[in-house]
Amino acid sequence: MYISEHMTPDPITISAEILLPEARLILNENYFRHLPVVDGNRKLVGILTDRDLRSAFPSSVANKSERMLIYSQVEKTKVADIMTTSCSTLGLHATLDDALLIFDRDKVGGIPVVSEEMVVVGIFSMRDLTAAYRKLFGVGEKGSLLVGIEDDGQANIMSAIVTLLENNDIPLTRLIRLGQKEEGGEIYMRVNSRKPNQIFKLLAKNGFNLLTP
């Protein structure tokens, strides 16, 4: 639930004083897309992305003389000149939901994780978020089956589902109820079973309507 369980701890960081070719080499060698930029005490001062570097280096469609001119400028340019200084951050007690909201709001692909003193202790990427939610919701687990049920608002519907499955020795691992709407709500559950048709028949027999496309 907490991003500290899913982040990359102690990430590689760079100084704002290094030149762009060196920064690009670090990104390419480590297959990163984001590099936190820190001061001498590892406190965050900015972030450098592969997009920043692509914008700084010459375009492949530029002619040779233009590329050579831009390369000569890039070789003298420091990270401080192109890095983003007003970057989003996450604390160690932030949750996956906190990260999801920042990714959606700021349209970024990676977020530095910092201590209360703004010391970089990790980095959390969109890929980390996807992997965390995959684990949280059991996607890809052996024998995992996702089942949707219409929520008609009847009293104790959640406990009725749980009781039915328990009484029939069907392992229930996740149960989610979405907010009810005027036309009805939705309930999703994940069970461990290799016999989906038996589960569908059991639910229908006990008055539950399966969600269909």
| pLDDT tens digits, one per residue of 65-109 | 777 777 788 888 999 999 999 999 999 999 999 999 999 999 999
Are both 73 and 102 inside the same structural domain?
yes
Percent of the chain exceeding pLDDT 70 equals 94
Separation CA 189–CA 168 (nearest Å): 15
Residue 181 has pLDDT above 60, yes or no: no
Separation CA 120–CA 14 (nearest Å): 11
Are both 34 and 128 inside the same structural domain?
yes
Taking a C-beta distance cutoff of 8 angstroms, is the pair 35, 14 a contact? Answer: yes
Residue 20, pLDDT score:
94
15 vs 156, higher pLDDT:
15
Are both 111 and 159 inside the same structural domain?
no
Are both 160 and 66 inside the same structural domain?
no
Instruction: Give the CATH number, domain containing residue 19.
Output: 3.10.580.10
Residue 115 token pair? 């201590």
- Per-residue pLDDT of 25-49, as tens digits, reads 999 999 889 999 999 999 999 999 9
What is the overall mean pLDDT for the chain? 90
Tell me how many domains the chain contains: 2
For residues 164, 167, 171, 176, the Cα torsion angle rounded to the nearest 10 degrees is 20
Instruction: Give the CATH number, domain containing residue 198.
Output: 3.30.70.260
Are both 61 and 14 inside the same structural domain?
yes
Residue 42 token pair? 């590892």
What sign for the dihedral angle of Cα 157, 158, 159, 161?
positive
179 vs 117, higher pLDDT:
117
Are both 79 and 125 inside the same structural domain?
yes
Separation CA 19–CA 115 (nearest Å): 27
Are both 171 and 67 inside the same structural domain?
no
Residue 118 token pair? 């703004």
